[in-house]
Amino acid sequence: MLGVLAGLRQEARLARRFFPGAKIALSHACETGARQALQVLQDEGVTALLSFGCSGALDAVLPPGSVQVAEYVQADSEHYRADPALSARFGAAQAAVRGGILHSPVMIGTAREKADLFSRTGCHAVDMESGLVARSGLPFAVLRVICDDAGRDLPPAAREGLKDGRVHVPALLGSILRHPVQIGALIGLGRDAARAHQAMADFLETLPLARV
């Protein structure tokens, strides 16, 4: 039985659409939530795991909407190889990006941080769930789509405006009032997130074996 660990509610909805037979859990875009969600999946008896959803680019050549089926996860300098059969099932041959994905316990917010991490690790992207999935001991795959390019500093509301895995309007408005100059960046981020979501949906439509 497949278990899917996603970060945000929008990602979980997409997973339910394409993986109706899977157990799906939500990290709420934080490491504590990811640990709790992973434990729920393991308690429900899943036998394989998929780390699914959005990621941030570390490689400056990757635009939002680039789909990655990662060959390995790097977490605390350790490399964890994804299961080849699962990776093939989730589109490794069709994905624009393979290579590595970096696990981070915190959101990577600045272009400088991203460039430094790419230089040091060679990983193409970063997320907050894949390292925990990789360390579970179960066969795993990573299917992610870039929603944040490497050259962008994330606006403060990207961190302050989330609650329980979705946009929290009062927190979002409060962040905008405190930092009004971020409005243009937020519009751009929202546009790229929509592009990424559509790119993932289009990618999954091409994978008949994903509907399990």
Tell me which fold the domain 2-151+196-210 belongs to.
Rossmann fold (3.40.50)
Bigger pLDDT: 29 or 134? 134
Mean pLDDT lowest among 56-70, 108-122, 148-162: 148-162
User: What is the pLDDT, as a whole number, of residue 210?
Assistant: 46
Q: What is the DSSP string of 110-148?
A: -HHHHHHHHHHH--SEEESSHHHHHTTSS-EEEEEEEEE
Q: Quick check: 109 and 153 in contact, CB under 8 A?
A: yes
Q: Quick check: 179 and 138 in contact, CB under 8 A?
A: no
Per-residue pLDDT at 167 exceeds 80: no
pLDDT tens per residue, range 5-62: 998 888 999 999 999 999 999 998 788 889 999 999 999 999 999 999 999 999 999 9
pLDDT tens per residue, range 65-101: 999 999 999 999 899 999 999 999 999 999 999 999 9
Q: Quick check: 186 and 176 in contact, CB under 8 A?
A: yes
Per-residue pLDDT at 212 exceeds 70: no
Two structure tokens written together for 111: 């272009």
d(CA 181, CA 150): 20
Bigger pLDDT: 180 or 171? 180
pTM for this predicted structure: 0.88
Helices (H), 6-164: 9-18, 31-43, 84-89, 111-121, 130-134, 157-160
Q: Could you tell me what percent of the chain has a pLDDT over 90?
A: 68
Bigger pLDDT: 160 or 199? 199
* Mean pLDDT across the chain: 88
* CB neighbour list of residue 109: distance below 8 Å, 6 or more residues apart: 153, 154, 158, 159
Q: What is the mean pLDDT of residues 164-171?
A: 56
